[in-house]
Amino acid sequence: MRPFTTAAYLFANRYSRGRIHAALREEVRRLDGLAPPPDVLNVGSGGTFGALIGTLRRANVTSIDADPSRNPDAVMDVRHMNEFADGSFDHVFMMEVLEHVETPRAALDEVRRVLRPGGTLLLSTPFGLEVHAEPHDYYRFTRDGLAFLLGDFESVQITPDTSFVQTMMVLWLRLCMSPHRIDRAISVTVLGLIVIFFPFVWLLDRCVRTDALPKGYIVRASRSSGSGARGDGVGRWPETAQGADGDSHPDELSGRPGPGRTKSAEAGHERQE
């Protein structure tokens, strides 16, 4: 059954992380276009996220993580980045980390401190996802909760990373990681049904309009501009988030743009489930 559970896992990742990967690719392009080369902080974003951040060609990237086995540039808690002076970075990546931090507001306050005026933050965090990486999975954030936590930032954009139907598919498919054989068998069965009835699933995804249950959210925010901001591009987000092909971030199944909203480590690392 292992090849089939692997297929279910890969299929789930395709829909749960597609928009996040698109946002990362877009941000890499933006940062590589800045002059002088920006200083970038990667807070615990490993795996495929870290690999995409690693494609930056011109930026000066520093990585931190609370886990030394992940070989960061500095072993550090995101809530206590005392080695960095105020305004040290032009951009911060924080992908799938915030839910693993015991005091998320303290982490975001520290991120804001190390950002230069006009500096930007790209963050992702789950909402409709099963508990994972126990015992350090502490929170799930609503859109309103994220807006509250980011109240000291500017130009906050909060966008769902999946549609309602995609979230349902992801949750069923991620049963492939369950320790129970019956759960893994159900996951493989669901994968087969999705493949067989894909036209119906595609149509259903086109018809369901609510965004009340995304798998998570992608957040873009900036520190208020002031003296010391670097370059024309720092602190300015594009009008529409774009994917790798230059189109607005697609719903990975239906092709429609995802809805968004704009508002004017001890556990600082991505937990690979």
The model's confidence at residue 272, banded by pLDDT at 50, 70 and 90, is very low
Q: Residue 8 falls within a domain, yes or no?
A: yes
Report the DSSP beta bridge partners of residue 142.
none
Structure tokens at 236: 């300015």
Q: Which helix (H) or strand (E) holds 218?
A: strand 216-222
State residue 202's pLDDT score. 94
Q: Say how many residues make up the chain.
A: 273
pLDDT of residue 239 exceeding 60, the answer is: no
Q: Which residue has the tokens 């690979």?
A: 272
Q: Residue 141 falls within a domain, yes or no?
A: yes
> 151 or 12: whose pLDDT is higher?
151
The model's confidence at residue 217, banded by pLDDT at 50, 70 and 90, is very high
| Domain membership of residue 244 as a residue range | 2-263
Output the domain CATH number for residue 162: 3.40.50.150
Number of other CB atoms surrounding residue 122 within 10 Å: 24
Burial class of 47 by CB neighbour count within 10 A (0 to 12, 13 to 18, 19+): middle
- DSSP annotation of 135 reads T
Q: Residue 269 falls within a domain, yes or no?
A: no
C-alpha 6, offset from chain centre: 22
Percent of the chain with pLDDT over 70: 82
Say how far apart CA 33 and CA 231 lie, in whole Å. 10
Mean pLDDT, range 226-230, rounded to an integer? 45
Per the CB < 8 A criterion, the answer to whether 268 and 43 are in contact is yes
**pLDDT tens column, 31-41:** 999 999 999 99
Per the structure, how many domains does the chain have?
1
Reported pTM: 0.81
In angstroms, the Cα distances linking 157 to 121, 169, 186, 228 are 10, 25, 37, 23
The model's confidence at residue 1, banded by pLDDT at 50, 70 and 90, is low
Q: Helix, strand, or coil here: 154?
A: strand
Q: Residue 268 falls within a domain, yes or no?
A: no
Q: Say which amino acid occupies 206.
A: R
Phi first, then psi, for residue 154 (nearest 5°) are -115, 165
The sheet with strand 154-160 has its strands ordered as 74-75, 60-65, 39-43, 89-95, 115-126, 216-222, 154-160, 261-263
Number of other CB atoms surrounding residue 34 within 10 Å: 17
The model's confidence at residue 226, banded by pLDDT at 50, 70 and 90, is low
Q: Residue 80 falls within a domain, yes or no?
A: yes
What is 76-121 written as a DSSP string? --TT--TTSPTT-EEEEEEES-GGG-SSHHHHHHHHHHHEEEEEEE
pLDDT of residue 13 exceeding 60, the answer is: yes
The model's confidence at residue 23, banded by pLDDT at 50, 70 and 90, is very high
Q: Residue 143 falls within a domain, yes or no?
A: yes
Q: Which of 50, 59, 61 is nearest to 21 (CA)?
A: 50
**pLDDT tens column, 159-169:** 999 999 999 99
Q: Residue 271 falls within a domain, yes or no?
A: no
Q: Residue 270 falls within a domain, yes or no?
A: no
Q: Helix, strand, or coil here: 246?
A: coil
